[in-house]
Structure 1
Amino acid sequence: MSGQEPRTFRSMFISDVHLGSKAAKAEFLIDFLRYHDADIIYLVGDIVDGWRLRRSWHWPQSHNDVVQKLLRKARKGANITYIAGNHDEFARQFQGVHFGGIVVADRAIHETADGKRLLVIHGDQFDTVVHNARWLAYLGDHAYDAAMLVNRVVTRLRQLLGLPYWSFSSWAKVNVKKAVNFIGSFQTMLAEEARRSHVDGVICGHIHHAVIENFGDVQYINTGDWVESCTAVVEHFDGRMEILTWAQVLPEAPDEPFIPLLIEDRVGQAA
């Protein structure tokens, strides 16, 4: 028995899964979706990694299971919006189209239970490298692959030592000065976009750095990712926002509890 009870929220925000990449923690996300549900679900970009898939095909069963899990939630009544990102920019040509109950959009406005209006956008539009120097973005993508390779080696070693999951790449991101400066600049630009859009805040992804912060009168929320930190943002039914981390796979509880037959019972039956 896992001891984990399923939880339901008003809304859920997931981004940067990068299905099609070897770095995707699909098993963790499947487990997270097993124990967490919401009436409204936003997939905030880079759910599928088209850049990786163009280079080499990688689509194991676990990646297909993530897709099927989301489609199943849509069939059960969840309102799901797929916000396109830069790695799945091919989806932007399908804005307004429904696929299996999931609608595709470039951005959306989410209204919380307590009346706040939040801009939901992937955020790559405000990454100057991605937007203005695509070749440099691809070069950076290869460097990121190398960092994720180191991350997988570290993860495997920690598993062998019985230690919990820890992301080397996430640690490096928040400790390297240039990365810290980039994150700060990105957050500021997204907060400004929220002000221009006359909303109370913004929910985005893209930089793989989960956080909930206030920039003056604007709330900035980043959902994180499912290749490094394994995080999602949820909205409680009172409108409160929270970051959840799920860097684990819990054992599934059996459908029926196993009750061993006692020796005394067997003796009694034999008599």
Structure 2
Amino acid sequence: MHIIIETPIALKLKRKVEIVVISDVHLGTYGCHAKQLLTYLSSVDPKHLILNGDIIDVWQFSKRYFPKSHMQVIKKIVALAAKGTKVTYITGNHDEMLRKFTDSEIGNISIVNKLVLELDGKKAWFFHGDVFDASIQSAKWLAKLGAYGYDLLILINRLINWLLITFGKERYSLSKKIKNSVKGAVKFISDFEKTATDLAIENGYDYVICGHIHQPKNEIVETKKGKTNYLNSGDWVENFTALEYQFNRWKLYRYSEDKLSAFYADEELKDMSEQELIAAITVMKPFKTPK
């Protein structure tokens, strides 16, 4: 007689990935899905984690709203760095205050405005993408107002989805519907992608990796001047997506489709109080700017 004892081995399994890229997490806002992101980060063991902008939403940061799960994401990133993962934080528009620390490093964590890597003989260009956004460059107050409106829309959408799920219906995205139906929004996304790929081809980059527009994509773009692989890591507000580089290729990871089994947050994180999490994060040496 054989006795089979089931153990939660799956909870400890982590996929080894060469590079993981996430962006537009917007920690500190109602739209952020920190628990899903924490689940994803607990399922991978990346050599290099690239945070491609808008990770912490400083524009809408409020002491009244920063849940424990949001703090756990920060702690998880710091823990990955402590265990050997190289973490590169590329600044975006919502976390632009970090640009004053550009080219600073602390342990395995560095802060930059853009990043260029050579991946298996090919050049990869990473940047957030807000530099292409005229509304941010010329009227920052208008862009911030739009961000507050977007966050409110996401909050309303959460309530609608709760009702839909309660009655056995599928989720519905208001913001996606609006983006896809408003000609101006569709044109902005198209112009953004064209500008990024044109510049990448002109400068000889094989890959151009952005965030900012919350539109996940992995596409080969070819023009008369050449071709490049355009990639956008999407977001953790609506799409729950990331980019992964392994075995000489890029993959667009979709949490809802690619999550084969549940990976839960590390037990030590789940059991820690908010005060302990804050202490764990803040017990770090000051940033040192390279000479």
Could you tell me the TM-score, scaled by structure 1's length?
A: 0.85
Residues 1:111 and 2:121 are matched in the alignment: no
3-state DSSP of counterpart to 2:54:
coil
Return the offset for 1:3.
5.9
Deviations 1:178-224 (A, max 9, x none): 22111100001111232344311210100000001122102111000
1:201 corresponds in structure 2 to 207
Deviations 1:7-63 (A, max 9, x none): 22111100000011111100000001111221111000000000001x664211111
1:242 corresponds in structure 2 to 251
Which moves more between the two structures, 68-77 or 164-173?
A: 164-173
Deviations 1:46-86 (A, max 9, x none): 00000001x66421111110011111111111111000000
1:264 corresponds in structure 2 to none
Residues 1:75 and 2:49 are matched in the alignment: no
| Paired letter, 1:34 | S
Equivalent residues in 2 for 1:225-240 (5 A)?
225-236=235-246, 238-240=247-249
Q: Is contact 1:26–1:63 with CA below 8 Å preserved after alignment?
A: yes
3-state DSSP of counterpart to 1:51:
coil
1:13 corresponds in structure 2 to 21
1:97 corresponds in structure 2 to 104
Deviations 1:125-149 (A, max 9, x none): 0111111221221222232123212
Larger radius of gyration between Structure 1 and Structure 2: 1
Return the offset for 1:243.
0.9
Residues 1:220 and 2:236 are matched in the alignment: no
The equivalent position to 1:154 in structure 2, one of 157, 160, 168, is: 160
Query: Once superposed, which parts of structure 1, at least 4 consecutive aligned residues long, lie more than 6 Å away?
Result: none
Residues 1:211 and 2:217 are matched in the alignment: yes
Structure 1 distance, partners of 2:78, 2:265, is 23
3-state DSSP of counterpart to 2:59:
helix
For residues 170 and 112 of structure 1, do their structure 2 counterparts lie closer, same or farther at Cα, with a shift above 3 Å needed? farther
The equivalent position to 1:26 in structure 2, one of 31, 34, 45, is: 34
Q: Is contact 2:28–2:60 with CA below 8 Å preserved after alignment?
A: yes
Q: Is contact 1:2–1:253 with CA below 8 Å preserved after alignment?
A: no
Equivalent residues in 2 for 1:163-178 (5 A)?
163=169, 165-178=171-184
The equivalent position to 2:137 in structure 1, one of 131, 134, 141, is: 131
3-state DSSP of counterpart to 2:29:
coil
Percent identity, aligned pairs only? 36
Q: Is contact 2:30–2:155 with CA below 8 Å preserved after alignment?
A: no
Structure 1 distance, partners of 2:128, 2:193, is 12
User: Structure 2: any 5+ residue segments left out of the alignment?
Assistant: 1-7, 268-291
Deviations 1:103-143 (A, max 9, x none): 00000012223x22111000000111111221221222232
Return the offset for 1:2.
9.5
Return the offset for 1:6.
2.8
User: Structure 1: any 5+ residue segments left out of the alignment?
Assistant: 256-271
Aligned residue pairs, count: 252
Structure 2 distance, partners of 1:234, 1:254, is 21
1:179 corresponds in structure 2 to 185
For residues 167 and 34 of structure 1, do their structure 2 counterparts lie closer, same or farther at Cα, with a shift above 3 Å needed? farther
3-state DSSP of counterpart to 1:227:
coil
The equivalent position to 2:55 in structure 1, one of 47, 52, 75, is: 47
Return the offset for 1:156.
1.3
3-state DSSP of counterpart to 1:118:
strand
Which moves more between the two structures, 242-251 or 201-210?
A: 242-251
For residues 234 and 104 of structure 1, do their structure 2 counterparts lie closer, same or farther at Cα, with a shift above 3 Å needed? same
3-state DSSP of counterpart to 1:22:
coil
Structure 1 distance, partners of 2:39, 2:170, is 16
For residues 20 and 252 of structure 1, do their structure 2 counterparts lie closer, same or farther at Cα, with a shift above 3 Å needed? closer
Return the offset for 1:162.
4.4
Return the offset for 1:96.
1.4
